[in-house]
Structures are given as structure tokens and as C-alpha cells.
Amino acid sequence: MKIVEFNTVEELNEAGLNVLRKQIETKKDSLLCLATGSSSTGIYQKLAGKTDDIDSSQLKVIKLDEWAGMPMAHPASCEYYLRENVLTPLQISEERYIGFDSQAADGPAECKRIADFLQSNGPIDVCFLGLGLNGHVAFNEPAETLDPAVRLSKLSNESLNHSSLVDVPVTLSHGYTLGLADILRSKTIILVVHGASKKEIMERLRIAEISTNLPASFLYLHNNAYCYYCEK
């Protein structure tokens, strides 16, 4: 992974847009995996503003992760975020979108459904990720060991204290997530990081030592992964 630094978030967002634009122009039926959360919102908004110039009619999207048990229509769900910021603006049809059902009755079967889709339709062309304050990517949380597969992951206290979870009507403990093996099979990976709150974890990530206690460090194993970082 290479860390690319930007002076402003606007410059970072423009660079992220260019990655997506070039990918879609090169392969109209690209499979995108898109993180939710504030870090990448500006990039998605820029993409949504280019619908007259970018042909998204064949584009496919897979959801990176989801809060298990969260109502799908709740504003804090990853589903709600993707529909608001990506699927609706880009007119991605249901046939071209797959995501975890947060309220699936059978968790292991739901994980298998997503894993089977990736087996048949992967690898992911471009995967956009965010960086947790504890170094997680998706819901691959720091631990002594990491399961690399699609799974239900026990959430850390940092994740459960996320600002978006205020007034959530259910008690959360686990999250559905793509595993690091699925992420690392992506052809291109962009880790988007900005803001003063991420300065400390970025200092740890810069050391470039791979550790299960810093899941994002595994991105150094990928030869086409980039961290787009702005300190502001």
C-alpha cells in the first residue's frame, strides 16, 4: 500500500472520483465495493454529480459490511447510506446490487450467500474502505487472530460507540463483513482517511508493520492499494 497525501479534502475527493471514473470508463460492468461513513461521502457525491458524463447503467455494487440486527431502513444502517448516496443517485437496479440483509434469520446462511456471490462474480474491481479509530477496516476488528472470510464479527467497543448509533432501536453486538481475504482479492483498493481524529491511528499505520491488532496494516500486502490521506 502506498500512502498518498493531499492538502485538502476537496483534492482527495477529486482523486477518488478520478479512480471511479477511469474504472467505469474502462469496464462499464465493474463491481464496486463501497464503504459507508463520512470519509468517502464527498467522493460518492462527486460521482453522483457526474451522471450525465458517466455511464453507470451496467455498474454493480456490493455492500462492504452491515450492523447485524439493525433495521435496514434505519438512517444508521449501511443499507440506508448506500441507497441515499450511491444506489439511488446512480440508478443502480436491484439486479446489480447485493448486500447483507441485517435482519436475516440465518446468519451463517447470509454470509454464505455473499461469499457465493463473490465466488461467482468477483473479484471486486475497486474497493473503497474507511479506517476505524482502532485500525479496523469494515468490521474486521483488532484481535489476536483474524478470520479472513465473510462472516459475522463481534464488534469492538469503539465500533459500538460510533456516533451514528445514537438512538438506535436495537442492541447491537455483531456486524456482517467481508473478510480481509475478500478485500485483498480486489484489483484496486482505496483506503480513504481524513480529519484530525484519524491522526493517531494514521501514525500507527505509517509504521508499515503488519499486525492482526491493526487490521488495516494488511493492506500493505496488496500491490495496488492506496491510502488517500488528508490531515484536515
User: Residue 160, Cα to own-chain centre: how many angstroms?
Assistant: 17
Helix (H) or strand (E) holding 44: helix 41-48
Of 134, 158, 174, 222, which residue is the catalytic one? 134
Of 66, 110, 136, 140, which residue is the catalytic one? 136
Of 65, 66, 79, 182, which residue is the catalytic one? 65
The edge-to-edge listing of strands for the beta sheet with 188-194 is: 2-5, 225-230, 188-194, 126-130, 31-34, 60-63, 97-98
β-strands 188-194, 97-98: how paired? unpaired
Q: Active-site residue 141, yes or no? A: yes
Q: Active-site residue 13, yes or no? A: no
CA distance 139 to 50: 30
* C-beta separation of 179 from 140 below 8 A: yes
Of 66, 125, 141, 182, which residue is the catalytic one? 141
In order, the DSSP letters of 79-140 are: HHHHIIIIITTTT--GGGEE---TT-S-HHHHHHHHHHHHHHH-S-SEEEEE--TTS-BTTB
Name every residue whose Cβ is closer than 8 Å to that of residue 210 and which is 6 or more positions away in sequence.
Answer: 217, 218, 220, 221
Q: Active-site residue 182, yes or no? A: no
Q: Active-site residue 136, yes or no? A: yes
Kindly list the catalytic residues.
65, 134, 136, 141
